[in-house]
Structure 1
Amino acid sequence: MTRTVLLRPPAPERAAAERAAARAAGGRSRAGTRA
C-alpha cells in the first residue's frame, strides 16, 4: 500500500520526508538506501 502510494504520486515532498525519516533512523530506511 505504501509503495503504491509513493510510486503513484510523484511528490517531491514525499521523497523529502522519506529522506528525513531515513536520516533520523540513521540512514537505514529504504529512502537512505535509494538516495
Structure 2
Amino acid sequence: SRRRTEWLARYLRTYNEVRGHSALNYLPPMLHLATAL
C-alpha cells in the first residue's frame, strides 16, 4: 500500500542516517528494523 511504501522510505532514510554512527555500523539492517518497530 502507499502508506507502507512511505513508511519504508522513511525507515530507509533513517537507517542511512544512523548507519554513519560507529556504534550502529555492526547492526544488520533487519536487526535495526526490528528494533525500530
TM-score (norm 1): 0.45
Structure with max Cα Rg = 2
TM-score (norm 2): 0.42
- Higher RCO, 1 or 2 (CA under 8 Å, sep at least 6)? 2
Greater helix proportion: 2
